[in-house]
Structure 1
């Protein structure tokens, strides 16, 4: 190809002191002025819009130059393409050259098109470096636009040129590549983003329409929320609130508790919901309009579901159900179901406060009963207010709990949590109306015979202990159950029985009835305490004197040994000791007591003394263990 001069293609002339190129009025612009415009555009419309602006600007420049070249019928398509870098360089954009080319035409069909080349001293990269420093990506948008527009006009098919490396990124030169748009695959999205970028005014118009739509949506959601809130303030039930929503959106609504038991529903029967709830399958890749709202599919449609939070914990769920012919307005409906969850949270908080207040009243009532503040007639009358018949036989249960490890939660919080867990379980799971009082590390439960028979009481309490172990980790729960009582005025004595019994409960056997204490239970009372302690001293001797942790360890060993009937294997297993370690302790105990531990009479007396010790010296033992 012959060497071209600028005027060969542009036909530059001056007329009346004005410059013309190919009969088009032209002006000279310095690269510094271009850089200033580049800087201002980035600051005013952002880097992404600036890319589109300069790409389209370069594209137009390329198309105009290609139209002049296209008039030369003597040139082949490949020669016309090769003129592009030459014109580009003659205009001062960059020193441009083709390094690789693959161009094949079959008739009017382009079979293959792939060009690679280099731009050196790109004016666009030079200005970007001066104004902004090194870029994270290519910056020669005018140059790639020019190449794209020029070749597209020459070959009559959409092509796209992009930079593989750029001087603006700190590279020694810019490397470019051009292909048919159809061959770029995913990367062609970049071309279409340049081609389809909306004008700013059009974009502002669309943005305004979206804002108006959003405002209307928020107004609708706000109106719905206000109506639900007003119903809540008026003291209406959750069913009344669901009525409001169902009249508006005409879709089934379901509210569940944390165990997914249905609390309230509208627009669907309980049987219908139960038949589909197990088929729900979450759609993880569905567009989420609210972070808390999940979308589920089921056999007949889809569901929007959001959790109900109370004090940072999930206490239930709200769901909207849509059959196949219904399509949710995800943006609005997700906001409304979330507002419903907020209303339900307030309702649950109100219910929780009412329940806690009632439980506190009942606990205070139990304390007054045990302190004999009221007559039997007054107690019966007050019990009617809480729907509890205290003319019936009853038991007192002492539920003792001890936290085995340190907790991040404050002690008060743990006691409160234990009380609430026990109260909720008896009320919701067992449907029992129970008076619950509190002592340090102990809950006192008054349970009437009409609700739980004496035969079933141990099973109920054992189930409660198992439940608590699952709910409150690293805690030991022990229970003591009083004898059956018929006189409510004797509740204080029944409480003492339960507290005495729980002191003999252990990890292996967490529940003890007062009746299991036998004659010991009859003997132990305030009047006999000194006599009981004397009996303990006589039987345990040195082991009882100056109690400390080491002696308590030996006492516990002796207690398990006697409880297991002198069986070494079972004793070692219950104490988690080796048999040799157990023998060492038993030999030491025998030496201290100077008595035969195999003597049945002696075993009986020692067991009585040990049980009495656990009861009358309970506080002292607990204090030593805590040291």
Structure 2
């Protein structure tokens, strides 16, 4: 026997699992290395050893070639069959199902796949498995995924889950499913698996993990993909054909006929109509071009469109239908001409229209509106030509318009393809620069470059010279705002390289700027939502783990180990009738930008955001040790800054506690909300409240206001009545006396009152039954005076 031929015996007694009867019976698990046969055998079954990294490369090849879903199915089924095969010798050696099933983690471990530790094993009274739960440590599958792809969003130990499901199902004779609920590839310390009967998992949870254990038919999948690609190509070609047909029209009536016809085709509608807006009557009156497919004779904007609409951009889809439409879907899209809604295209469909089709119809209608503007402009110009004989002939003008429109259609197709293919803003800027032979630079609202088609240093130089009006030696440049509605997201600068921009190139750049603005808006909304979710988790204390919170904090540039003071700001509209809607989101967005504008110049590392119609500011102490005087000056200037832009609003500003650990933030936010509520109740407008100075008052003001009034009257009422009857001013005197720590000499000296006068008034106070020597009486007086001070 060659030295290479060896047999290793693993004692299963150490596992605590007895086989074939006596629990203490020893059973050897042999691993045979047979050089002459070129084989390794475990329990008589041949094994193959592979490099984990090589298997990781195979896994990557499957994912990159076939996609995640198919790769997951293949690896899950592979693991399932491995588990089934490993269970067969155990079934022969063991009559105990529970002990047999616990050997699964042991066989996983000795093969170097994963360190599996079972945590829980439950059987029903009938002997059927209810739950098997445990941890996987050092999973090769998780390690390889992180090595090749980085941290994952979903669980990735597919073959391990398949092995556990196959092994347990074969041992127990049940249809079981293993699901990985936590995964080390997602950042957890260990993977967590659970095995249950298939019907015990909800359809939503088991869906991605439940396969039929049959081979994946690549031919069928490829056929489906090809069919989907053909459908996409057909839709795209249909849209381009429709767009070309509509944009070729030079007559507004014919253009609207074509628009209705092709919108009808794209939506696969059962009925389509066009409504013309009559501004004077506030009605959308039907102007039908479909003949027999007449839907509605008259539709008021307030009752039938606006009130029941769910908005999707400029598209709104009705879920509640007019009685004449049974239970079908109504899709209505406005036609904008000269930035006003002049028409509405209404389509009735039997099924809900998918978003891709809606976007295609929106673009068709959008360009139809542009063409209507061109036609209207052409008609006006034609009238001027006839009147003054100063412009070129109508035929030449129309030809020029057709040429421009053809150019716009062709270039718009390219831009649409960029977006549909998932290519980003950078590639779109490059394409625009190549087509117009221009330098293109994108600036955000802070005038920072976020897109360009030339070297960074040259782009910065161009921007500097344009903004400083030092354009000497520069070719002509154009500026296009990046707009989302009325909100400016930045601007696009285009500088000629060699020749002047043609009219077509200007139109191309303008169309490109609109598409870029939409992409920027989507990115910003995603970032804002991510930022809001992080701060909501921070102030609520509700987060998955510290590791996840640290990752989120890094992405929003928030220093979890830093020091911040929490500031709360709220507004009260003092003229609601003159400012209808000012308490809406846009009102607080305006306040947010003004606060952010003020804070950024003084504390760049600070963060601000909108929470429930309140501005919450995280004032950073990084690189800046605020003194008490500096903070008071900072808050006063901020209050004046807000009042400058919101003069008809009451401002509530609360300076909360300083936070330097995670458990401080939820408490600080709760205190801020409470203090803002108190200020609002007490109408303490245009003042700065320091939560730390409120002390016990913060608790008292949570009490019902009528009870506070009763308390103040019981303590100070006799003095008020006496002063009103005599004019002796006992209450102001007592207030000064309390402020000077009940010291007669100090009070007299600081407030220019003779000691004898002060003593006389204090005797009068004692005569009214107020014993100023009693410590409890003193406390009640101090509280009553403070409540009076804060509540006016």
Which TM bucket (shorter chain)? Answer: 0.3 to 0.5
Q: Which has the higher contact order (CA 8 A, sep 6+)?
A: 1
TM-score, normalised relative to structure 2: 0.38
If the length of structure 1 is used for normalisation, what is the TM-score?
0.46
Larger Rg: 1
